[in-house]
Amino acid sequence: MTRSLSTSLSRSLSLRATLLFGILAPVALFIVINSVSLYRQTLAAATTAYDRTLLASAKTIGEQLDVEGYDEHSVLRAKVPYSALEAFEADNKSKLFYRVSAIDGELVSGFADLPFWRGRIPDLSAYASLVDFYDAQFRDEPVRVAVLLQPVASEHGRGMAVVQVAETLELRETLARKILVDTLWRQLLLLGVIAGVTILVVQRATRPVRELGEAIEARAADDLSPVHAPDAPRELRPLIDATTRVMGRLQRLLDHQKRFVRDSAHQLRTPLAVLKVQVQSARRGDVDPRQALDEINQTVERATLLANQMLSLAKVEQLRQRPESATLAFDEVVRQVAIDVSPLIAAKALEFELDAKPAPVHAHLWMLQELARNLLHNAIKHSPEGGLLAVRVHVESDHAVLAVVDSGPGISAELRQRLFEPFSAGDAASGSGLGLTICREIVMALGGSLTLDNRVQDGQVVGLDAKVRLPLKEHTQG
């Protein structure tokens, strides 16, 4: 419940509003609780003060009593003018009533309709007198009553009087309201000061966020350079670094797309131009129709291969940005690709060997298939008739290794320098120059490595060894 409330608030409120709410809400709650506590304490203190006034009134009345007789035979007499109580009435906002009674409740003096006290003196009292306080109703008004058990002694007797003084609550209620109002406006003033200071602090604290947002918003649409904010607080560094990394990935993706479009336009223009010349030549009858069709077919095949491999190169980059991989058996993928290209192997009567041991990797199926297919196609194309072609899959340390061994002419030192560059085929007439580029991009996307080494025997190059190393499944997941 708390988490869902926090999530909904964070979605609906801005950062500044969240900070203000998070700071002011607890402060406001504390002020409310403190105000209630302070009000109760102040009201209790005021009540004690007024109760002492009532007690003083009762004592004043008790001091004016006289008695004849002793104990149960005593007779109390009182001469208490009402003016004796006027000194305890404040601002004519409250009224005082009194009753003097014998210990058995017999009225001696005062207001007969004031009910006689039937309570008991508290065991623990804050006063040095036998006094009790209670709330009651008198003449349809709420009153506060003080009861004093007053010993009375004279030359002619000794007895006990019960003095009751009741006061209406107008003055107390007025004071309570004043205390409440004073408490509230002071606490509201304090809350306002805290809110103002908090707003200023939050505004200052969030200024770097706004400045960073404005700086990014002011950039050109194609500006994906790193974000520089040397004055930003440390708390913003993770956001700035993450934004810089995202911009870097976007920049690489845009560069790749631009390069792809540029290379596509350049590379497809040539076969299309050649195809147009061949068609025009065939229509004019410059060459034999069968020869013209063979040439057109070869041009179309090269253009189709080029288009397919360019699309494959673009797909590698797409999968690199949005990986959807699973744990796959590398050996099974290589074995299936070998079956698919078996007609090409048979056409050149190659001596083919396949040794595939279990090697689980975490990758996209299409990537593994395209990697194995390009390496096998490259090896078949460059191997001589009846030559050796061996494919091996095994595990070395924490890597799955694919080795493709052919008996071709190998690669020259000049070609090695630009071997993995797009459109740098060793045989421009029969290839697009993208196969090894695709292989390198796939291997890099999977966190592996690709090496091409000439196999030398008696000082002669007798073939090429292509070796791919990919992390095993458990190391990929770690």
Instruction: Locate 245 and state its tokens.
Output: 């990394």
Residue 421: what pLDDT? 63
Phi/psi at 211 (5° precision): -65, -40
- Classify 323-477 by CATH class: alpha beta
Residue 267: what pLDDT? 61
Longest dimension (CA), the chain: 162
Contact 118, 143 (CB under 8 A): no
| b/e burial code for range 363-381 (CB count within 10 A of at least 16 → b) | bbeebbbbbbbbbbbbbbb
- Separation of alpha carbons 212 and 210, rounded Å: 5
Contact 101, 145 (CB under 8 A): no
Residue 404: what pLDDT? 93
- Separation of alpha carbons 215 and 211, rounded Å: 6
- Residue 115 DSSP class: P
The count of other CB atoms within 10 Å of the CB of residue 350 is 21
- Separation of alpha carbons 335 and 339, rounded Å: 6
Instruction: Locate 450 and state its tokens.
Output: 């690709």
Q: Which amino acid is it at 210? A: R
Task: Give residue for tokens 């001589």.
Answer: 384
The count of other CB atoms within 10 Å of the CB of residue 73 is 9
β-pairing, 449-457 with 460-471? antiparallel
Half-sphere CA count of 199, side-chain side, radius 13 A:
5
- Separation of alpha carbons 123 and 129, rounded Å: 12
- Separation of alpha carbons 178 and 37, rounded Å: 16
CA distances from 305 to 194, 414, 434, 446 (A): 73, 25, 10, 24
- Separation of alpha carbons 442 and 315, rounded Å: 10
Task: Give residue for tokens 């999977």.
Answer: 446
- Separation of alpha carbons 266 and 258, rounded Å: 12
- Domain segments of the chain as ranges: 64-169, 219-318, 323-477
Instruction: Locate 204 and state its tokens.
Output: 């200052």
CA 474 to chain centre: 30
β-pairing, 326-329 with 360-363? antiparallel
Q: What are the pLDDT tens digits along the chain (478 aa)? A: 455 545 554 555 677 778 788 888 888 888 888 888 888 888 888 888 888 888 888 888 888 888 888 877 778 887 766 555 554 555 556 788 889 988 888 888 888 899 999 888 887 776 767 899 999 999 888 999 999 998 888 878 888 889 999 988 888 878 878 888 888 888 889 888 988 888 888 888 878 877 777 877 887 877 777 777 777 777 778 888 888 888 877 777 777 677 766 666 656 666 777 778 778 887 887 778 788 788 788 878 777 766 776 676 667 666 666 656 688 899 999 999 999 999 999 999 999 999 999 999 988 888 888 889 889 988 998 899 999 999 999 998 889 999 999 988 888 777 766 665 655 554 444 444 567 887 888 888 888 999 888 888 887 888 899 999 999 876 554 4
Contact 100, 81 (CB under 8 A): no
Task: Give residue for tokens 């002020």.
Answer: 31
